[in-house]
């Protein structure tokens, strides 16, 4: 199963599950590319933040990139056990707004590397 991980947790011998292209559409690393030290160095120089890799079962959940929906569900779960007071409700709303803004900014920002679908 393919999993999105932060590039900082990618190790040599992991295999890409999706291709990565530069801003001009040129292929940088194709599906099945083994992440060697050289490939990781190139991706870091391109400011790639995360990659989809195959067979990342040995990674901890905190090493994987969560979707906005997963982040929002985790936020709701964290606050579910608390007695909701007005200040706590404001904190929860502020965090939710931050997650939404971060997701919108990530979607709107043209990255220096584009991951294929």
* 84 CB-near residues (< 8 Å, 6+ apart): 92
For residue 4, which of 106, 110, 89 has the smallest C-alpha distance? 106
Whole-model pTM above 0.75? no
- What is the average pLDDT across 61-90? 87
Residue spans of the domains in the chain: they are: 3-65, 68-108
For residue 43, which of 53, 55, 56 has the smallest C-alpha distance? 53
Q: 3-65 adopts what CATH topology? A: Molybdopterin biosynthesis moea protein, domain 2 (3.90.105)
- In this predicted model, which residue has the larger pLDDT, 104 or 29? 29
pLDDT digits (tens, 9 = 90+) for 28-64: 999 999 999 999 999 999 988 889 898 766 777 777 7
- What is the average pLDDT across 87-94? 93
Structure tokens at 10: 């990618």
| Confidence (pLDDT) at 24 | 87
Structure tokens at 56: 């990342």
15-16 and 20-22: which strand pairing? unpaired
């Amino acid at each position: 199963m393919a999993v999105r991980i932060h590039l900082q947790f990618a190790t040599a011998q992991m295999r890409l599950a999706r291709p990565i292209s530069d801003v001009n559409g040129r292929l940088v690393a194709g599906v099945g590319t083994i992440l060697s030290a050289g490939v990781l160095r190139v991706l870091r120089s391109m400011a790639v933040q995360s990659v989809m890799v195959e067979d990342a079962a040995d990674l901890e959940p905190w090493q994987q990139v969560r979707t906005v929906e997963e982040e929002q569900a985790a936020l709701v779960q964290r606050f579910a056990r608390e007695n909701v007071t007005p200040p706590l409700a404001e904190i929860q709303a502020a965090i939710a707004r931050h997650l939404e803004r971060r997701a919108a900014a990530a979607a709107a920002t043209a990255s220096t590397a584009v991951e294929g679908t």
